[in-house]
Structures are given as C-alpha cells and as structure tokens.
Amino acid sequence: MEILKNLWILIEIGGPVMIPIFLVSGWLWGLIVMKADWVWRTSRNQLPLSEAMTCLQSGRAIPSNSPRAQAINQFMANCNGTRSHNRNADKLLLDAAIRKQTGAIQKYIPTIIILAAVAPLLGLFGTVSGMVETFKVIGMYGMGNAQAMASGIREAMITTQAGLLVAIPGIFIGQVLKKKANNIQRDLLVFQRGIVQWLEKECEI
C-alpha cells in the first residue's frame, strides 16, 4: 500500500502524463522479464547437432522449446514424419522451419526498443505541459507567485526524470537482449548448415 501511495503522490506532482509513463514502464519491464527468461532458458537448453540427427533418423519429436528443437520438430511435421530424400525439397522444408523460428527469436525485441524510446518523449511532453502551466501562472499573477510557479516547474522536472529513468535502463537492456537474440539466430543458421550437410549425405546413400 505504501508503494501505491507513493506512486499516487508522484502522479499528483507530475500530472496526468505520469500515468502513461507508468503504463509504458510496466509494459516495458514485463516484456524485458519474459524475453530475458526465454533467452536464459534457450542458452541453457541448446540441442546438440548429434542429437538432432538421431531424432531425424528415428522421426521422434524433441520435447524442448529451444529454437533448434522447434525447427527440427517443424521440419519433421512438414515432412509428415518421413523425409522425401529429395535434396532440394528437404532444404526448402528445413529453410521454412528455420525462418519460422526467426520470428520467435526476435519476438518482443522491437517492442522493447520502441517503448524505451517512447518513455523520454512522454517525459518531454510532461515537461512542455509543466512549462505551459508555469507561463500561464506568470501571465495571471506575474513573477510574484513563486509557489504557483514552482508547481509547474516541479511537474516539468518530475516527468522528465521519470521518462529518463524508464528509458535509460530500457534502451540498455533492450540492446543487450537484441544482441543475445542475434547470437541465437546466428547459431541457428550454423545449426541449419550442419543439418543440410547431413541431409545431403543421406540423399546420396
């Protein structure tokens, strides 16, 4: 309850712009937590190439949510459990399965980066709103009402600070997660080349 009380005080000080800043912050950090958890689990549960080949030979599905495992499962599902032993057809089916996993790897990353970029803009909007309120007070009472002027300036500073506090760690962590996701994607392409080479050998037998 104390946290909610403090948040309400910040909203009262910073004005209505604080509400979308809080909403953006909650959305941003929710996506960051989900993506970070996915990256951590994926990095720990990488499917070895040898195990993938064994599963392809046996036609057994792989009980894992890693991109490698999901790509192999999708490939076998497209083959209806039996490979065509046609080199070009198998390559196309494997490429389609890999491309499908690319979308899952990059999921949430663009949204995280966009939300981190939106937060300081909302803070800037609050800054402008606070300064407009300050000039309105100056226009009505002149420079004599320091307390009324301070209210508008305080609103401007609080919203700017809130927007930056959301944006700076959000942009940093978003870029780290983007780099991790790109590494996973590159690893998946290397894995694809290994599977393609194995499929070519199988087609020659």
Q: Rounded to an integer, what is the distance from CA 121 to the centroid of its chain?
A: 19
**Residue 28 pLDDT > 90, yes or no?**
yes
Structure-token pair, residue 64: 């894992």
* Dist. CA 58–CA 76, nearest whole Å: 10
Residue 117, helix vs strand vs coil: helix
Q: What is the mean pLDDT of the chain?
A: 80
Per-residue pLDDT tens over the stretch 94-150: 888 888 888 888 889 999 999 999 999 988 888 887 777 777 766 776 666 666 666
- Spatial neighbors of 88 by CB under 8 A, at least 6 apart, are none
Query: What burial class does residue 191 get, using C-beta atoms within 10 Å of its C-beta: 0-12 exposed, 13-18 middle, 19+ buried?
Result: buried
**Residue 27 pLDDT > 60, yes or no?**
yes
* Dist. CA 64–CA 97, nearest whole Å: 15
> Does residue 187 or residue 151 have the better pLDDT?
187
Report the predicted TM-score, pTM, of the whole model to 2 decimal places.
0.79
Q: In this predicted structure, what is the pLDDT of residue 190?
A: 86
Q: How many domains would you assign to the chain?
A: 1
**Residue 10 pLDDT > 70, yes or no?**
no
Per-residue pLDDT tens over the stretch 45-54: 777 777 877 7
Query: What burial class does residue 205 get, using C-beta atoms within 10 Å of its C-beta: 0-12 exposed, 13-18 middle, 19+ buried?
Result: exposed
Least confident span in 32-36, 125-129, 192-196, 199-203: 199-203
Q: In this predicted structure, what is the pLDDT of residue 135?
A: 72
Domain that holds residue 27: 2-204
Structure-token pair, residue 48: 């070895």
